[in-house]
Copies of this chain bind each other. A is one copy, B any other.
Amino acid sequence: MNMTPSQRITSLGLVLPPAPPPAGLYKPVLVVGEFLFISGQGPMKSDGTYITGRVGEDLNLGQAKLAAEQVGLTMLSTIKTHFGDIDRIKRLVKTLGMVNCTPEFDQQPLVINGFSELMADVFGTDMGVGARSAVGIVLPGHVAVEIEAMFQLH
């Protein structure tokens, strides 16, 4: 695991979707001092459309976890496109994982693990794991999962 994050992306054969255009008046990525803030990202597929649907109704746990992983790939694409060198990222600091789910669904943490496991694969099992909350919420465009994150830079 002495590879850089960009080497791990290549080595894992990860396919990044296009970076989504902003859905409103905000910056997809903002750097302030040593911190990189990422706006809420949805699960964009390679064809530029999103994984949509309500977890517990339209999607099951496995499908929702894959959607969260796709959010991670989307976020990596956003970082490469709007920030540049992904190897300048030192660590994941904080994740807010939001699942579009029924009021009865209660396994948001297992869903968001799809994102968190990808971050650990790319940035390492220490530096790729941060503080986190995982909750259920109503999301724009009926996307299945949306995640915002804060990273620390080298």
- The residue in chain B whose Cβ has the minimal distance to the Cβ of A139 is B135
- Output the nearest chain B residue to A140 by Cβ-Cβ distance: B108
Alpha-carbon separation in the docked complex, A34 to B25 (Å): 24
The complex places the Cα of A30 from the Cα of B131 at a distance, in Å, of 6
Total contacting residues, chain A, CB less than 8 A: 54
- A94 shortest CB reach to chain B, Å: 5
Q: How far is the CA of A128 from the CA of B140 in the complex (A)?
A: 23
17 contacts between A and B (CB under 8 A): A24-B112, A25-B117, A27-B132, A32-B152, A37-B130, A38-B131, A39-B131, A39-B133, A106-B139, A106-B141, A107-B140, A108-B138, A133-B146, A134-B140, A135-B146, A137-B137, A137-B138
